[in-house]
Amino acid sequence: MSVEALQGPEASRDGARHRRPAEGRIRREAVRAYDIRGVAGRDIDRGGAYALGLSCASAARAAGLSRVGVGRDGRLTSASLEQALVWGLMDGGLRVERIGLGPTPMLGFAVRELGLDGAIMVTASHNPPDENGFKILMGKERVHGERLRALVAMEGSRDRCGSARRAEVIEAYVDELARAATGMPPLKVAWDCGHGATAPVVRRLVERLPGEHRLLNASVDGRFPAHHPDPAVAANLSQLAGTVLAHGCDLGVAFDGDGDRLGVVDAEGRILWADQLLLLLARDLLAHSPGAAVVGDVKCSKVLFDGVESAGGRAAVSPSGYVLVRETMQREEAALAGELSGHIFFAEEWGGVDDALYAAIRTFLAVSRLGGLAAFRDSLPPSFATPELRLACPEDRKAEVVTEVAGRLEHEGAIFDPALGLRVERPDGWWLLRASGTEPKLTCRCEAVHPDGLERLRAELREQLRRSGVDAEV
């Protein structure tokens, strides 16, 4: 692991330093539940990135923290925002390790490997190409909710100038992933990087793995020309599924823009949704760790929770949101956790982070031990469910819609746990409605034991949305 001294141009740095107005340059609407995401140049600009760096530095110094890592994805605005962020962190007195372009989990690896006090990733994950943002780790905690809003709003102060240097961690990260793949059979795998930040890692990793590997969209391009980098949407997996079928692959894997969410298709080109994947990984885990706890978010199928229990594990339900799933995992002392959107968490042997590349490796190992992915999928009990549906809704309206629907249901005597979001149990099954924590959207899902029941649930959800002014096909 090598480091290279790095200094930014003083003229540009001074310009950024004096651009910060009192209220900052990150619009309030861009501060989401778990991170910062907005349109670059409108909601977030270089001045806002600098201001955020200065605020983070002040908060870090107050907590006795001094060294942070910074990484960026491949979006067209990420390099510029990363530079301004680093200047703010330096002006605030921190020592910055710049890992450069790569997936968010590689930055998490750098935190562990270099013993850093925190990290900031410049990324908007799976959001549209014109958006960007920041994910913040301070100490061992992801900054979110009220703490994140307060951090963005605070007035940072300059300290004696800190420093920044380049930290090359990609080779060490690939080494770690390759070690995790020890014992992997020679599978035939299709990999879809989606032109996202995983591409440089995947190109190196497949050279170290047994079997035959076919790469798709393995150049970084922040315009995402092939398809949107969101593996939770079926349309974004069609190219991968076609490749698996055309070349007789055992399975295919796909990643989101910053590499912390995984999508999977089997040898027949069928999507294995993340809750089904979580059950595969849980069965593999419970074969040698009986009684272990497994966490799934509230959008996950009942098949997952019943399957964990029948395999000898303890199932726990979490509210949706990758930060909340990880917190539930820690509270339940779970060995494995996941969210329907594709975040998969493993316990402390991998730092408890949602690393989609590591999850892919664990999937390959599980497939080899459990007799194939298609056979596993065929073994699941029948259920009828929608995928996770995302409905456009104004940022300032989405929480109100959920509150209105909850109020009507409570008046009608419906049973739901508000701590988990609006998951409504009916004789036919259940349906869920929640406000997205990362986008101006509502997310929903329905599941039933029979197709007719699914249609009744969908009709009920459509009617509730209509009564709150949301006309959408569910």
Handedness of CA 49, 53, 55, 59 (dihedral sign): positive
3-state helix, strand, coil in the chain (%, to 5): 40, 25, 35
Give the DSSP per-residue string, 117-144: SEEEEE--TTS-TTEEEEEEEETTEE--
Residues contacting residue 102 through CB under 8 Å, at least 6 positions apart? 71, 169, 170, 173, 197, 200, 201, 259
Output the pLDDT for position 388. Answer: 86
pLDDT value at residue 146: 95
Q: What is the mean pLDDT of each run of 10 residues along the chain (474 residues)?
A: 35 40 71 94 96 97 97 98 98 98 97 96 96 96 94 91 96 97 96 98 98 98 96 96 98 97 97 97 96 96 96 95 91 95 85 88 95 92 89 91 92 78 88 87 93 95 94 84
pLDDT for the residue 446? 96
pLDDT of residue 8: 35
pLDDT of residue 439: 82
Known catalytic residues are 125
pLDDT of residue 1: 42
Asked if 175 contacts 182 with a C-beta cutoff of 8 angstroms, the reply is no
336, 342, 348, 349: which is closest to 287 by C-alpha? 336
Residue 105's pLDDT is 96
Is the pTM for the entire model greater than 0.75?
A: yes
CA–CA distances in Å: residue 355 to residues 5, 150, 198, 343: 29, 28, 11, 8
**In this structure, how many other beta carbons lie within 10 angstroms of the beta carbon of residue 139?**
12
Domains annotated for the chain, with CATH where assigned, are: 3-169 (3.40.120.10), 188-270 (3.40.120.10), 273-381 (3.40.120.10), 384-467 (3.30.310.50)
Give the Cβ contact number of residue 417 at 10 Å. Answer: 13
Cα torsion at 276, 233, 474, 417 (round to 10°)?
50
Q: 194 near 236, Cβ under 8 Å?
A: yes
Bridge partners (DSSP) of residue 387 are none
pLDDT of residue 348: 66
pLDDT of residue 110: 97
Q: Please tell me the predicted confidence (pLDDT) of residue 167.
A: 97
Say what the pLDDT of residue 396 is.
87
Distance of alpha carbon 36 from alpha carbon 438, whole angstroms: 8
Find out whether 208 and 144 touch, Cβ atoms under 8 Å.
no
